[in-house]
Amino acid sequence: MTMKEVKSERIGRRKFIKTAAVVGGVAAASTLGFPMVSRAQTITLKMQGAWGAKDIFNDYATDYVKRVNEMAGGRLKIQYLIAGAVVGAFQVMDAVDKGVLDGGHQVTVYWYGKSKAASLFGTGPVFGQNAHQGLAWIYYGGGYALYEELLKALGLNIVGFFAMPMPTQPLGWFKKRIKNVKDLDGLKYRTVGLAADLFQAMGMKVTQLPGGEIVPALEKGVIDAFEFNNPTSDRSFGAQDVSKVYMLGSYHQAAEFFEIIFNKTKYDALPTEHQAILKYAAEAASSANFWRGQDQYSKDLLWLRDTAKVKLYRTPQSVQKAQLVAWDKILPDLEKDPFFAKAVKSQKAFAHRVAFYELLNSCDYKLAFDHYFPKELGF
């Protein structure tokens, strides 16, 4: 072979390799640009919330549904229903467990009648932790394994996720300002879950009611006072029309979050990518819910004060201290249940560590607020 022929063969090989690379690249790009997408029939899940149509909690539920539906690209869809569409607010867990509903949006305290330990997953005692740290316990401190253990022990055919670290819930609505613990004695009061045990230990007469029944009960004299959750929900109930005293700050429910549940049989039958969407949409909705709440709660609190002429008061420290003492009083009996004791021990240990860090490290936000808006808080 002459030198000219050798050179020509080398050029030919280079052209072949270059052409092959281009063709291969186009094929790869085509594969990336047009992925193999399943066109199977849409899977539709029927979910009901525990909330009325006008409650911001209903908006939070639809925040979750919106994220699932959009991420699933039409292959998985949640059909969402408001409270009462199929079952009452307190019956969502049973309906999902039995497969009457595929999913539910609620709080664990709404099935507290099955086990008081359910209340630990959102409405338990406060050892210094806030709701963000409560969710951290769920997902990184062993709380989720305990939740699954409780579901199994109760024979509940449920898979659940948690979302929305709720701000501290107000002590609530009263006919007159609460100045000390004696002002609570004998009051007929609405709350739910372990908070009922707490306030009973403080001398109050407690009735457990879903949100939609609160104001009618107050109007009929069934209760004298109540708490629900936040300024926006309370406004939507019309609390300002039947009471003009709103007490802010309390230890009865200071670290709650939503529980998003699915029938386990239905969930296990889903493709793994659909299961992942249902799981991670809860995390996405958690942030979206909190941001929405910060905006709307603050607006509605000012509306209650300035337009509805509601008197806003900080719950006295003496009352909050009495709540802590009451928690100490009721916990020993509750901890006779081995599971309850184990869950509280885990929660308390995690709270001790993370609250120590948070409280030692956080700046004094109130000091900054008072610096720029002096005398506005009033305490």
Residue-wise pLDDT tens digits, 84-116: 999 999 999 999 999 999 999 999 999 999 999
Give CA–CA dist 306/304, Å, rounded.
6
**How many CA atoms does the CB half-sphere of 152 hold within 13 Å?**
7
- What does the pLDDT average to over 129-143? 98
Nearest to 194 by CA among 337, 50, 350: 337
- Do residues 351 and 129 touch, judged by C-beta distance below 8 A? yes
Residue-wise pLDDT tens digits, 170-184: 999 999 999 999 999
Domain spanning 43-123+151-166+256-294 has what CATH number? 3.40.190.170
Distances (CA, A) of 362 to 126, 314, 321, 357: 18, 22, 22, 8
Q: Domain boundaries in the chain?
A: 43-123+151-166+256-294
Q: Residue 265: CB partners within 8 Å, gap ≥ 6?
A: 99, 157
Residue-wise pLDDT tens digits, 153-207: 999 999 999 999 999 999 999 999 999 999 999 999 999 889 999 999 999 999 9
Give CA–CA dist 103/158, Å, rounded.
9
Q: What is the pTM of this model?
A: 0.87
